[in-house]
Structure 1
Amino acid sequence: MKQIIDFVPLLLFFITYKIEPTTVAIAGFSLGVGGIFSATAVLIASSVVIYGFLFVHQRRLEKNQWLTLAACLLFGGLTLGLHSETILKWKAPVLNWLFALAFFASHFVGDRPLIQRMMGHAVRLPAAQWSQLNVAWILFFLVCGFANLFVAFVYPAIWVDFKVFGSLGLTLLFMAGQALYLVRHMQPEPEES
């Protein structure tokens, strides 16, 4: 459910981006709707509302949610402030690479790889498989970052479509591969005497 909630701002960004740019008068104010800049404003506002709601409801946000919110505010704010969509195009690659860095650093900081810290309560694997799975996540985030960067600057006409649906498709494929890997290597629960 949390993953679906995390996609709501991105979905609202996509819908707003696809609206034909127009100006709407509301209470005597002119408001531009549609296109990259209003979509960025919607992304920022919806992220603040959704993560704010989650924070109030759960009394905390996960580290990846804080990082996502911070990247949204930083890159989105700079995009609007400098009126440059190029800045927003760097958000997904940088965020993916930061996640890759976190997974990489977990091999050297702490007693377990990051993926084991995240999933160890639900899945039992030998230590070597946790390390392999962690490396797979590092590679996944690196590939996603480079794929987003490539599409954003080589195929800018489909960048938003790829950002929403291509990234989601890559994630679902990776998760399916991870599920197959986990099923193959899971250890049975120890029997209680």
Structure 2
Amino acid sequence: MADKKATSPLVKLAIDFGPLIVFFASFKLGDIYLATGTFMVASVIAMIASRVITGSVAPMLKVTFVIVMVMGGLTLYLQDETFVKMKLTVVNGLIAAVLLFGLMTGRLYIKMVMELAFEMDDEGWRKFTRNYVAFLVVMAVVNELIWRTQSTDFWVNFKTFGYMGATFVFIMAQMPMMMKYMPDEDEKGGDV
């Protein structure tokens, strides 16, 4: 097993969001089926790049990869764009279910994933998990409403920009609560 390597945040962003950008560009240049195929290829490249550059593949990237391959494969094989449009709902639902299960059984899975980025006490992680589960469920419902009632072009724009914007707003809205549960400088064990 390879050791995790120090990696620039920009490189991590490129690995995480590169496939989405490729999906969007491919859709604008072609159609949903071209976009789905290139998204699948870009997801394979992102997995390889993550392993080579960072020394590991994040659990969420692995889960998303499997869902992209299954839903994308069904989209291409059946020539039915429903499956690729439902991918966001499936991913959000799965993550929400895992986080809720963890919360109900006393496991803070989100802390394991994000504790390098944020330092909070367990009460803060519990509240953040609860709020994130609610956000994921709402966004799954929004995705379902949009793809079922709007054009494919509108849905692609939502998936690419609307979802990221909503996630940014959610994280910013959580900052006051997160700061409340972050340790003071004195509690961090500074120089004595």
**Residues 4, 137 of structure 1: CA spacing in aligned structure 2 closer, same or farther, 3 A cutoff?**
farther
Distance in 2 (alpha carbons) for counterparts of 1:70 and 1:101 = 17
User: In structure 1, what is the equivalent of residue 170 of structure 2?
Assistant: 174
Is the aligned partner of 1:113 residue 2:123?
no
User: In structure 2, what is the equivalent of residue 5 of structure 1?
Assistant: 15
Structure 2 unpaired stretches of 5+: 1-8
User: In structure 2, what is the equivalent of residue 104 of structure 1?
Assistant: 100
Worse overlay, 179-188 or 87-96: 179-188
Cα distance, 1:130 vs structure 2? 1.8
TM score, norm. by length of structure 1? 0.84
Cα distance, 1:7 vs structure 2? 1.1
Cα distance, 1:63 vs structure 2? 0.8
Higher RCO (CA 8 Å, separation ≥ 6 residues): 2
Distance in 2 (alpha carbons) for counterparts of 1:164 and 1:7 = 9
1:22-44 superposed Cα distances (whole Å, 9 cap, x missing partner): xxxxxxxxxxxx00111111101
Is the aligned partner of 1:184 residue 2:180?
yes
TM score, norm. by length of structure 2? 0.85
Question: More strand per residue: 1 or 2?
Answer: 1
How many residues are aligned here?
178
- What percentage of aligned pairs have identical amino acids? 28
Distance in 1 (alpha carbons) for counterparts of 2:131 and 2:85 = 25
Structure (1 or 2) with the larger CA radius of gyration = 1
**Residues 65, 122 of structure 1: CA spacing in aligned structure 2 closer, same or farther, 3 A cutoff?**
closer
Worse overlay, 121-130 or 181-190: 121-130
User: In structure 2, what is the equivalent of residue 17 of structure 1?
Assistant: 27
One-letter code aligned to 1:160: V
**Residues 68, 140 of structure 1: CA spacing in aligned structure 2 closer, same or farther, 3 A cutoff?**
same
User: In structure 2, what is the equivalent of residue 22 of structure 1?
Assistant: none
What pairs with 1:136-151 in structure 2 (closer than 5 Å)? 136-151=131-146
Structure 1 unpaired stretches of 5+: 20-33
